[in-house]
Amino acid sequence: MRVLVTGGAGYIGSHTIVELLRQGHDVCAVDNFDNSSPVVLDRIQELTNRTLTFHQTDIRDTAAMTDIVAGFAPDAVIHFAGLKAVGESEAEPLRYYDVNNGGTVSLLTAMDAAGCKRVVFSSSATVYGEPVYLPFDENHPCQPSNVYGRTKYFAEEILRNWQSATDGACAVLLRYFNPVGAHPSGRIGEDPRDVPNNLMPFVAQVAVGRRAALSVFGNDYGTHDGTGVRDYIHVVDLALAHIAALDFAARNEGTEAFNIGTGQGYSVLDMVSAFSRASGRDIPYKIESRRPGDIATSLADPSRANAQLGWRATHDLDDMCASTWNWQSTNPNGYGDG
């Protein structure tokens, strides 16, 4: 298949491109490096021994995107490009709506011009908001509680409306739970620009000595040890879910949402002890107050993806921690090391 990947230099995009190239697909990637580094492109090609086409372009530039889509003539698009920091989205809502929603409209306009009718979209479990019941299935009400979550929900709606107005189109909405881990080679991984917002990269930076201690945001939740429970999913499993989704999009018409998680929950302290085991390092931490907007537990029911995509997560918590540690310890400053 010929696959156009937006946000291809990012964390999840780069891991997905590796799996696409490995399986013999042809890839054209687009990224403006707003939150990524060009170094990742060399690493992808080195890991796969294959080349990819790349354009440094903003997805909101509809004229440029139209030329790129027409020139590459993809069978399908995987749309990762977007902004993803919850706190920043509350401070800069218009930028988030512009990139995540305006960018999606721009991409679909370019796809329409070239007659490309299949898209796989990076959505998020954050579209569900506060749980009404757990685990979340795809019919759970969507009541996102922050601007970032709303941009993901609105993008889903944009895709749904585009698909129903476009003969023969298919939109697959992948609602990721908590992506963690790195490629087992240690050559690509997650490289946050500033202080990490997410648990796993923060823990990894404490283990490698870049930060003194982890702040655990609350130990008074109704969970087995009082700390927040999440459904962590290995990024290579997540990458493979996109390939299964491309396959699904090639065989079906319509809009379908799928939870991409394991169905297994771990607390913050479970993650700290698993990472400490994998790295052989102490992870100092202090208990602090709850982070505003956090929920106690987020857990996927992944059975729809298991049944309809024929996809299932196979990596366990030890794989998630060992691969993160391999990446972090061999690239202590991420792609900044070149």
- Residues with a known catalytic role: 148
DSSP 125: G
- Under rule CB under 6 A, residue 150 binds ligand WQD: no
Question: Shortest approach of ligand WQD to residue 216 CB, angstroms?
Answer: 4
Residue 9 contact partner, candidates ligand NAD, ligand WQD, none, CB within 5 to 8 A by sort of partner = ligand NAD
| Cβ closest to ligand NAD, residue 218 vs residue 334 | 334
Looking at residues 305 to 334 of the shown chain, list those that interact with ligand WQD (rule: CB under 6 A). Answer: none
Distance CA 144, CA 127 (A): 5
For ligand NAD, the binding residue among 25, 43, 55, 84 (CB under 6 A) is 84
Q: Is 299 helix (H, G, I), strand (E, B) or coil?
A: coil
- Under rule CB under 6 A, residue 21 binds ligand WQD: no
For ligand NAD, the binding residue among 3, 4, 5, 9 (CB under 6 A) is 9
Question: Shortest approach of ligand WQD to residue 269 CB, angstroms?
Answer: 9
Question: Of all residues in the chain, what percent are helix, strand and coil, respectively (each to 5)?
Answer: 45, 20, 40
Distance CA 64, CA 58 (A): 8
CA-to-CA dists, residue 157 to 173, 259, 266, angstroms: 10, 16, 31
Question: Shortest approach of ligand NAD to residue 304 CB, angstroms?
Answer: 17
Query: Interface mask (CB under 6 A) for ligand WQD, residues 121-140, using x and -?
Result: ---x-x--------------
**Residue found by looking up tokens 């917002």 in the block:** 197
The single-letter code of the amino acid at 29 is A
- Under rule CB under 6 A, residue 19 binds ligand NAD: no
DSSP 227: S
For ligand NAD, the binding residue among 34, 75, 137, 253 (CB under 6 A) is 34
Chain mean position to CA 58? 19
CB-count exposure of residue 306 (10 Å: 0-12, 13-18, 19+): middle
- Under rule CB under 6 A, residue 22 binds ligand NAD: no
The residue ranges that bind ligand WQD (CB under 6 A) are 84, 86, 124, 126, 178, 197-199, 202, 214-217, 228, 230, 268, 291, 294, 298
